Chains A and B, each alone.
Chain A
Amino acid sequence: AQRVTQPEKLLSVFKGAPVELKCNYSYSGSPELFWYVQYSRQRLQLLLRHISRESIKGFTADLNKGETSFHLKKPFAQEEDSAMYYCALSGVNNNAGNMLTFGGGTRLMVKP
């Protein structure tokens, strides 16, 4: 079975401080990992995916297969980063189509 765990429900930081949103997963095959973000009153949208290895809005995430983690990081948080963040996993060889398994989400609050 595949599972995604986000241990923090809420993360509160001051503007300019570093941010790390934690994500751990369990999956027996080769997973594809994503971070989704939901800003206030907006729909869920993709922030980044591990295969792209890119930085989006200053955020990066590295897949660590040894630790089964995919933590989201940003060196200097901005107030506009305040949102709900979801880590998600898609199994490459599953028989459930392209299902995404989501973590419970972490609310990031960036204080001025």
Chain B
Amino acid sequence: ETGVTQSPTHLIKTRGQQVTLRCSSQSGHNTVSWYQQALGQGPQFIFQYYREEENGRGNFPPRFSGLQFPNYSSELNVNALELDDSALYLCASRGLAGGTYEQYFGPGTRLTVT
């Protein structure tokens, strides 16, 4: 069983550009969530996808969008990048562990916007 993977590990973009981050869920997990973690802060929930549909969203503007694919991999897209979008972006897939559901986090993608 493989864990959650994310790509790329880090990237640098310019203000106004668009970016796509990718996540491969843990095998058999059909729910994925994305979080933004600014430096020195805890992760903040962006949105969640279940079976290719968004079923929950945090307090983020529409320029943050996502997709989930039939193989349960997913993407986070951010348009019109702003300096404050610089952060670590975490993906988490949800699955059963010992009879209860648990979220398994990926290593993150560090985005720097200049």
Chain A contacts to B: CB under 8 angstroms: 4, 6, 9, 43-46, 49, 51-52, 86, 88, 94-105
Q: Are A46 and B102 in contact (CB under 8 A)?
A: yes
Query: Closest Cβ of chain B: how far from A23's Cβ, in Å?
Result: 11
Q: Are B101 and A98 in contact (CB under 8 A)?
A: yes
B73 on interface, CB distance cutoff 8 Å:
no
Q: Are B100 and A97 in contact (CB under 8 A)?
A: no
Q: What are the residues of chain A within 8 A of B90 when measuring CB–CB?
A: 44
Question: How many B residues touch the partner, as a band?
Answer: 20 to 34
Q: What are the residues of chain A within 8 A of B86 when measuring CB–CB?
A: none
Assembled-state Cα–Cα distance A49/B90 (Å): 20
Assembled-state Cα–Cα distance A95/B48 (Å): 11
Q: What are the residues of chain B within 8 A of A88 when measuring CB–CB?
A: 42
11 contacts between A and B (CB under 8 A): A6-B42, A43-B105, A95-B56, A96-B56, A97-B33, A97-B50, A98-B94, A98-B101, A100-B45, A102-B42, A102-B43
Assembled-state Cα–Cα distance A45/B55 (Å): 23
Q: Are A105 and B42 in contact (CB under 8 A)?
A: yes
Q: What are the residues of chain B within 8 A of A52 when measuring CB–CB?
A: 100
B41 on interface, CB distance cutoff 8 Å:
yes
Residue of B nearest to A36 (CB): B105
* Interface flags, B74-112, vs A, CB<8A=1, else 0: 000000000000000010001000001111111110000
B31 on interface, CB distance cutoff 8 Å:
yes
B57 on interface, CB distance cutoff 8 Å:
yes
Assembled-state Cα–Cα distance A94/B55 (Å): 11
Assembled-state Cα–Cα distance A95/B57 (Å): 9
Which of A46, A49, A86, A99 has the most CB atoms of chain B within a 10 A radius of its CB?
A99
* Interface flags, B37-81, vs A, CB<8A=1, else 0: 000111111001010000111100000000000000000000000
Query: Closest Cβ of chain B: how far from A8's Cβ, in Å?
Result: 13
A104's contact among B41, B56, B102, by CB below 8 Å, is which? Answer: B41
Q: Are A101 and B107 in contact (CB under 8 A)?
A: no
B103's contact among A4, A94, A98, by CB below 8 Å, is which? Answer: A98
Q: Are A86 and B50 in contact (CB under 8 A)?
A: no
